[in-house]
Amino acid sequence: MAIQFYNTYSRQKEPFETLEDGVVRMYTCGPTVYARPHIGNFRAFLFADLLRRWLEYRGYEVRHVMNITDVGHLLDDADEGEDKLDAQARREQRDPFEISARYAAEYLADRETLNLLPPLENPKATEHIPEMLEIVRALIDKGHAYEVNGNVYFDVQSFPRYGQLSGNRVEDLVAGARVEVNAEKRHPADFALWKSDPSHLMKWASEFGPDGFPGWHVECSAMARKHLGDQLDIHTGGEDNIFPHHECEIAQSESFTGDRFARYWMHAKFLQVDGGKMGKSLGNAYTIDEVLERGFEARHLRFALLRGHYRQPLNFTWAVMGEAKAFLENLDRMVEDLERVVAAGDGASDSGAVEDVGSSASVDTGAAVQTAREEFEAALDDDLSVPRALAAIATLRNQFVQSPFTGAAASAALELLRDFDRAFAVLRAPSAAADDDDAAIEALIAARRQARADKDWAESDRIRDELLDQGITLEDTPDGTIWRRG
């Protein structure tokens, strides 16, 4: 099946086609660095990482840009009020540039902890002021924007498609929850491209005045254009970005270039905690460090945040974290077992058919692995259907537990799990130390095998107990001894 993604803009799944063969231009809205990102932020970032990894798995070159907003994002995503960076700087009584640098560094460190692939570029808004002003000036010249008292607003009535992404209608966007009353605006839904405010801590001089700073929305349009060109293949973000941020990006970018801004818009739903909202005021906006302090590994959190479909709400609980840990440890053990079978060259030419104990029918494990691969790949090709993909892997593991794979089936199963990890990046990474440990364990098992051959049962039992003390369990089978950690 060809790859297809749900497009928020068209509200339907569409076959995936790129502007340039084999190349994906992908832009992701990154964090506003006024505070440490929480795990809810990382749900959207991890969705974009999975999307990129899967496209690369399918052979695309993904040119991924993910910005850092370090100015201009006002409270409540509105055009009035205080800048989030300014507000935090006043609270901490520090320079806002120092605030943004600190939290940007923490965000980048958290990305590395969760094993997100580094983007092609991580542009900062403050480093792209000239590109933003270029767009602002052009929109005024084209009749899509107007200046009042040093403030520049986009005229939404000049862009007939405004509202297509979010489903909002311009005639319905009157003063309300997210549209502030502002007598300067021609229409309440008009949004700021450039603001002037002498009290703003971060400001730049322009023809509009000495105390200006960009509107939040124009920042992403400018950064995407500079690093990816006038048109994108995919634009991603959280569901909270749909309106007003992405709606406004479309209006200003397409009015500026005259071209379609992005072919596919993809948005991740919110992360819930214990079935409810997550928020700092509720005390459940956990950081990565707070999760790790509970004894979990970063990969456990990564998997817990990836395990659902991105277009469905995802619930975070500590019980879910325990389930994620157990699932991955089971896969780790399966990988270890398969690696030993493959390394031993056990029946490399075997077709993969084994006898199902307690049944007269045989299980074609080779066919089982092929079915699992087909289901896994088809699921992720179908709008990144992670639950279906994980179901295919879980079924394969259950089949392996019931009827251990040998020969070609073992090799194919191991390759599938490695491909699974190319997309999810959650399995335990091998290390030199682990290889040394494995060699020591294999040596003890060989010594035990010799003791059993010599009928030295006391020595055999002593070695078994020594391995148990190390957390190694043994299973003696007609084909030899299988060992597992845990």
- Mean of pLDDT values over 165-181: 70
Kindly write down the DSSP assignment for every residue of 428-485, as one continuous string.
PPP-HHHHHHHHHHHHHHHHHHHHHHTT-HHHHHHHHHHHHHTTEEEEEETTEEEEEE
Per-residue pLDDT at 441: 83
pLDDT at 268: 98
Side by side, the strands of the sheet bearing 232-238 are: 61-66, 23-28, 232-238, 262-268
**Average pLDDT for 286-294:** 96
pLDDT value of position 436? 60
Res 179 pLDDT > 60: no
Report whether 39 contacts 305 (CB < 8 A): yes
* Residues found in the chain: 486
C-alpha distances (whole Å) from 196 to each of 77, 97, 143, 355 are 17, 19, 21, 77
363: Cα within 13 Å, side-chain hemisphere: 21
* 273: confidence class by pLDDT, cuts 50, 70, 90: very high
Classified by CATH at the fold level, domain 320-424 comes out as Four Helix Bundle (Hemerythrin (Met), subunit A) (1.20.120)
pLDDT the model gives residue 174 = 63
The reported pLDDT for the residue numbered 102 is 93
> What's the mean pLDDT in 409-436?
85
Report the pLDDT value the prediction gives residue 347, as an integer from 0 to 100: 41
Percentage with pLDDT > 70 across the chain: 91
**Does the pLDDT at position 122 exceed 80?**
yes
pLDDT for residue 20 is more than 90: yes
Q: Report whether pLDDT(86) > 90.
A: no
Least trusted range by pLDDT, from 28-32, 252-256, 474-478:
474-478
Average pLDDT over residues 60-75: 91
Residue-level pLDDT at 435:
58
Cα 168 to Cα 35: distance, rounded to the nearest angstrom: 31
Considering 5-9, 68-72, 92-96, 464-468, the range whose residues carry the highest mean pLDDT is: 5-9
Q: Best-predicted range by mean pLDDT among 33-37, 88-92, 258-262?
A: 258-262
Q: What's the pLDDT band for 357 if we cut at 50, 70, 90? A: very low
- Residue 145 — pLDDT band, cuts 50, 70, 90? very high
Q: Which fold has domain 4-126+218-268?
A: Rossmann fold (3.40.50)
At 234, is the secondary structure helix, strand, or coil?
A: strand
Kind of pairing, strands 262-268 and 232-238? Answer: parallel
Question: Do you find a cis peptide bond into 244, omega within 30 degrees of 0?
Answer: yes
Q: Which residues contact 262 (CB under 8 A, 6 or more apart)?
A: 9, 27, 231, 232, 233, 234, 235, 250
Q: What is the mean pLDDT of the chain?
A: 89
> For the ranges 158-167, 239-248, 283-292, 428-437, which has the lowest average pLDDT?
428-437
Q: How far apart are the first and last CA of the chain?
A: 39
Residue 79's pLDDT is 76
- Return the sign of the alpha-carbon dihedral for residues 90, 92, 94, 95: negative
Cβ partners under 8 Å of residue 86, min gap 6: 96, 200, 201, 202
| DSSP one-letter code for 230 | S
Say yes or no to pLDDT of 91 above 60: yes
Domain residue ranges in the chain:
4-126+218-268, 320-424, 432-485
Lowest mean pLDDT among 105-109, 177-181, 385-389, 408-412: 177-181
**pLDDT the model gives residue 443:** 84
Minimum mean pLDDT range among 30-39, 48-57, 467-476: 467-476
As a whole number, mean pLDDT of residues 138-155 equals 97
Q: Got the DSSP string for 61-100?
A: EEEEEE-BB-S--BGGG-SSS-BHHHHHHHHHTS-HHHHH
- Is the pLDDT at 64 greater than 90, yes or no? yes
More reliable by pLDDT, 430 or 111 = 111
Helices (H) and strands (E) in the chain, counts: 14, 17
* DSSP character string of 298-317: HHHHHHHHHSS-TTS-EEE-
Asked if pLDDT for residue 343 goes beyond 50, the answer is yes
Nearest alpha carbon to residue 392 among 411, 417, 414, 422: 417
- What pLDDT shows up at residue 481? 77
306-318: per-residue pLDDT in tens? Answer: 999 999 999 999 9
- DSSP structure class, residue 127: G
* Average pLDDT score over residue span 9-14: 98
**Residues 309, 386 contacting (CB under 8 angstroms):** yes
pLDDT at 356: 39
For residue 247, name the pLDDT band (cuts at 50, 70, 90).
Answer: very high
